[in-house]
């Protein structure tokens, strides 16, 4: 008998057939998971950052702090010497251990990383810092566990475009969202040198979908979910067809942006930074 999992954005369900494969994690709205057609836009928007920064993990000992479903840590395992996953959620930890055996999965608090000083080469933290109450403490912990010259690869929704005109995040699972200047300030205060700030943007195919769906392909999905309206087949097909190459990651080296990151970064969907431990 198949099991239905419900997408909290679309309200639709997908049937998962039982068998030897590991059962998927439920969609709660707090994390994205692969393999759900109506979730595919958000999944690909997260996946592009792993794909574009994967080379920074080659041959390294990598900690993914806040590994969620684990698909990203498993991607990193293709190139890294060792991948350690860390998450606070028991279900996520058990899922990763079963689904992605190449990942050394640990359960713990991101405010107190259960690793020794200078023990890893790279810390990956994608779409997690906005969920944390003490972001500064977490970043100081990342600095502590990194070896000198090690890198923190971090991404987070851009507050300017994700929750426009609001003091509090739209997403109920977010505690504090950041713009580029605020993210840079947090990283520097924690002791990092910000090497690069990049932004995730819609490429031409998604810009076309924005125009076809009333100016915002994102709003077309969210508005129907909030209204409880069923998705038209055309929208479902459009979301299911999104690929990582439909997004663009546009980097802006720190040396070219004295005093700020410029308007292009403020228009980005998600912020992506490479920060280095001196």
- Please report the pLDDT score of residue 263 as a whole number: 63
217, part of any domain: no
- Please report the pLDDT score of residue 171 as a whole number: 61
- Please report the pLDDT score of residue 2 as a whole number: 32
Q: What is the CATH number of the domain that holds 101?
A: 3.40.50.150
Taking alpha carbons only, the member of 274, 278, 243, 242 closest to residue 122 is 274
207, part of any domain: no
- What is the tally of structural domains in the chain? 1
Cα separation, 14 vs 130, whole angstroms:
28
14, part of any domain: no
260, part of any domain: yes
228, part of any domain: no
**Phi, psi (deg, nearest 5) at residue 225:** -65, -45
142, part of any domain: yes
Q: What are the pLDDT digits (tens) for 201-222? A: 999 999 999 999 999 998 898 8
- Please report the pLDDT score of residue 214 as a whole number: 92
140, part of any domain: yes
Taking alpha carbons only, the member of 97, 96, 44 closest to residue 36 is 44
- Please report the pLDDT score of residue 130 as a whole number: 85
Under-50 pLDDT residues of the chain: 1-20, 255, 258-259
Q: Which residue range(s) make up the domain with 108?
A: 37-202+246-277
């Amino acid at each position: 008998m198949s099991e239905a999992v419900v997408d909290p954005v679309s309200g639709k369900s997908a049937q998962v057939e039982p068998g030897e494969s590991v059962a998927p994690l439920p969609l709660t709205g707090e994390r994205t998971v692969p393999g759900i057609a109506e979730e595919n836009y958000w999944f690909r928007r997260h996946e592009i950052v792993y794909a574009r920064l994967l080379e920074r993990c080659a041959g390294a000992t990598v900690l993914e702090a806040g590994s969620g479903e684990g698909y990203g840590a498993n991607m990193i395992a293709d190139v890294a010497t060792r991948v350690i996953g860390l998450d606070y959620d028991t279900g996520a930890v058990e899922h990763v251990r079963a689904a992605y055996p190449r990942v050394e999965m640990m359960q713990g608090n991101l405010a107190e990383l259960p690793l020794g000083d200078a023990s890893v080469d790279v810390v990956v933290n994608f779409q997690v810092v906005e969920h944390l109450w003490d972001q500064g403490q977490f970043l100081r912990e990342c600095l502590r566990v990194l070896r000198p010259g090690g890198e923190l690869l971090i991404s987070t929704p851009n507050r300017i475009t994700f929750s426009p005109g609001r003091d509090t995040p739209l997403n109920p699972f977010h505690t504090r969202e950041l713009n580029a200047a605020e993210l840079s300030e947090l990283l520097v205060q924690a002791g990092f040198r910000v090497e690069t700030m990049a932004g995730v943007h819609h490429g031409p195919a998604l810009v076309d979908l924005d125009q076809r769906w009333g100016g915002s392909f994102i709003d077309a999905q969210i508005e129907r979910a909030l209204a409880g309206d069923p998705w038209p087949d055309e929208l479902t097909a459009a979301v299911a067809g999104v690929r990582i190459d439909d997004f663009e990651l546009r980097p802006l080296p720190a040396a070219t942006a004295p005093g700020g990151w410029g308007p292009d970064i403020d228009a980005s969907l998600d912020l992506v930074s490479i920060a280095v431990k001196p």
